[in-house]
Amino acid sequence: MKLPRLESAGLDGWMVRLFERIDEQNLPWITALMRRSEAAFGAALVDLVPSYTTLLVVFDPLNLTPLEARHRLQALLHELVPDGPTASGDVHELPTWYDPSVGPDLERVAGHTGMSVEKVIERHAGTDYRVFALGFAPGFAFMGLLDACLEMPRLATPRKWVPVNSVAIAGRQTAAYPAVTPGGWNLLGRTSVRLFDRDRDGFSLLKVGDRVRFVPVDRHTFEARGGDTTPTEARR
């Protein structure tokens, strides 16, 4: 089917499907549509939920009918141009302690990929990741694209308990858990940075379009920055 296309998401929303495949080049188009939607919908806008390939636009049906909302989005899409480099998000460095005690899947990932643990860490930390979407849990940022040599399936049986700030990979995505939750991603380590804070403006440290770098640190530095060194398996 022709893209982009609008898909009904109920009486108060439209899903704008811009792409079919995950690609970093999608992001400038999605962030541009977000900015234009904020201006076009004004007070009638309730929420914008971006993902790798889509943007969900939620509006107030008391201020705008679904047909009116559709017409506004069609007009935006007709003249949409991608954001340029000056519209790029913030850059964040997340100090990360890569160690089997807090990254219990680190050695298994190394075995699966045929690399040493040191090489896995080097490859994971050697890429700047873009935040494509927020979801699953408040402040959970889906980031990519992970180096293809590190691509890993999710765990067959998810953990019932993943410690806050755990750094993980799944498929060609990476993330850091902003809270204690169940999870099926492969854990490589832990960051000392607080990712979700109710006292922070906007709550989440990371936003769609931001760039993230995982910076390897030793245990001493990790602890000095407030990192929790309690082994993952001991916290179940």
Tens digits of residue pLDDT in 149-204 = 999 999 999 999 999 999 999 999 999 999 999 999 999 999 999 999 888 777 89
**Residues 232, 188: Cα–Cα separation, whole Å:** 11
Average pLDDT on 128-132 reads: 93
- For 39, list phi and psi in degrees, rounded to 5: -70, -40
Predicted confidence at residue 88, as pLDDT, reads 64
Judge residue 175's burial from the number of C-beta atoms within 10 Å of its C-beta, 0-12 exposed, 13-18 middle, 19 or more buried. Answer: buried
Residues 72-98: tens digit of each pLDDT: 999 999 999 998 765 567 899 999 999
Q: Which residues contact 89 (CB under 8 A, 6 or more apart)?
A: 31, 131, 207, 208, 209, 210, 211
Q: Is the pLDDT of residue 15 over 60?
A: yes
Which pLDDT belongs to residue 3? Answer: 83
CA atoms within 13 A on the CB side of 182: 6
- Judge whether 56 and 49 are in contact, CB under 8 Å: yes
Strands (DSSP E) along 11-104, which ranges?
13-17, 45-50, 54-59, 91-98
Which one-letter amino acid corresponds to residue 139?
G
Q: What is the pLDDT of residue 75?
A: 96
Rounded mean pLDDT, 14-25: 91
The overall longest dimension of the chain from CA atoms, in Å, is: 58
Whether residue 1 is predicted with pLDDT greater than 60 in this model: the reply is no
The pLDDT score that the predictor gives to residue 170 is: 97
The answer to whether residues 170 and 85 touch, using CB atoms and an 8 Å cutoff, is no
Domains assigned to the chain: 5-87 (3.30.1360.40), 91-235 (2.40.100.10)
CB 107 within 8 A of CB 100: yes
Tell if the pTM clears 0.85, that is, is over it.
no
Greater model confidence, 199 or 206: 206
76: Cβ–Cβ under 8 A, 6 or more apart, which residues? 33, 36, 37, 40
Structure-model confidence comparison of residues 199 and 6, the more confident one: 6
Which helix (H) or strand (E) segment holds residue 186: the answer is strand 186-191
